[in-house]
């Protein structure tokens, strides 16, 4: 009882002292908090989950209103954070979407239909259709006489460039590189490995 009375009578002084102490010893306090959190990570998380569940069940309307206000005032921050989190946790997102699709296939279809009807969805669908048409046109064009002649000219230019360049690599060098680098330096694949140019031939690079 005596401690509570002292705190109530000298509340402002105690708070000012705490603020000053925190400013002076901020680094030490943060290091102690980090160490304590690392030792008792699971316990702290479990306590927080229980506390937030109870708090949310009691104050559901207040929490939802606060979240709505924050999202309205910080739309750009929220969108950037969501995109970053989705890129960093791509496997989790894919796993969750598969499980959700299996549980609620009808809801997923309805959501897809709504998205396709919206402006954003219609634009994306049009872009996909354009890409499909372009691929189909390319496959058709290279089979025509005009496409075949263009491809021959392109190959002929490539041959001329390779003849005029200087190749400094010997057979031993090529074998040592093949034994050393068994994966592609850029993508890491193992199939159909070829030697790439540091500077491209079209820009005046050497053979390898």
Q: What are the sequence ranges of the domains in the chain?
A: 142-203
Coil/strand/helix, residue 132: helix
The per-residue pLDDT for 36 is 92
The per-residue pLDDT for 162 is 67
Contacts of 108 (CB under 8 A, 6+ apart): 100, 101
Report the C-alpha gap between 16 and 132 in whole angstroms. 67
The per-residue pLDDT for 58 is 92
The pTM of the whole model exceeds 0.85: no
The per-residue pLDDT for 64 is 92
Give the closest residue to 201 by CA, choosing from 167, 151, 153: 167
The per-residue pLDDT for 156 is 76
Residues (pLDDT < 50) of the chain are: none
The per-residue pLDDT for 10 is 85
The per-residue pLDDT for 203 is 64
The per-residue pLDDT for 165 is 62
Could you give the C-alpha distances from 85 to 33, 70, 98, 106, in angstroms and in order? Answer: 26, 19, 18, 27
Rg (CA), the chain: 32
DSSP states along 46-107: HHHHHHHHHHHHHSHHHHHHHHHHHHHHTHHHHHHHHHHHHHHTHHHHHHHHHHHHHH-HHH
């Amino acid at each position: 009882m005596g401690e509570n009375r002292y705190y109530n009578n000298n509340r402002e002084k105690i708070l000012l002292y705490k603020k000053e102490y925190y400013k002076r010893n901020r680094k030490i306090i943060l290091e102690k908090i980090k160490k304590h959190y690392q030792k008792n990570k699971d316990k702290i998380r479990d306590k927080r989950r229980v506390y937030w569940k109870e708090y949310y069940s009691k104050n559901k309307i207040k929490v939802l209103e606060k979240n709505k206000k924050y999202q309205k005032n910080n739309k750009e921050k929220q969108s950037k954070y969501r995109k970053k989190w989705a890129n960093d946790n791509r496997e989790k997102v894919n796993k969750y979407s598969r499980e959700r699709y299996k549980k609620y296939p009808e809801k997923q279809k309805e959501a897809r239909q709504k998205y396709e009807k919206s402006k954003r969805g219609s634009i994306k669908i049009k872009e996909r259709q354009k890409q499909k048409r372009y691929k189909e046109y390319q496959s058709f064009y290279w089979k025509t006489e005009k496409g075949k002649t263009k491809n021959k000219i392109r190959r002929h230019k490539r041959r001329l460039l390779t003849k005029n360049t200087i190749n400094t690599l010997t057979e031993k060098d090529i074998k040592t590189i093949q034994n050393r680098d068994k994966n592609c330096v850029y993508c890491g694949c193992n199939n159909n490995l070829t030697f790439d140019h540091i500077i491209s031939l079209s820009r005046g690079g050497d053979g390898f």
